[in-house]
Amino acid sequence: MKAEFEDEDSGYVFEVETVTHDGAEMEVVIAASTGEIIKIEIAD
């Protein structure tokens, strides 16, 4: 698992990269100010 705090055009976000239980890579982008999940991306 890897997490980063970044300054995007839309504001500050946390980008979290992890691996699902079945081995797929997943990236989740979370708004730092609200905790809202902005994007979930799962690699095939």
How does pLDDT run across 8-28, given as a tens digit for each residue?
998 999 999 999 999 999 999
What angle is formed at CA 26 by the lines to CA 20 and CA 27, rounded to 5 degrees?
A: 145
Q: What is the pTM of this model?
A: 0.86
Residue 23 DSSP one-character state: S
Residue 39, C-beta contacts closer than 8 angstroms, at least 6 positions apart: 27, 28, 29
Classify 3 as helix, strand or coil. strand
The pLDDT value recorded for residue 40 is 97
Q: What whole-number distance in Å separates Cα of residue 31 and Cα of residue 18?
A: 17
Helix, strand, or coil here: 1?
A: coil
Q: Where are the domains of the chain?
A: 2-42
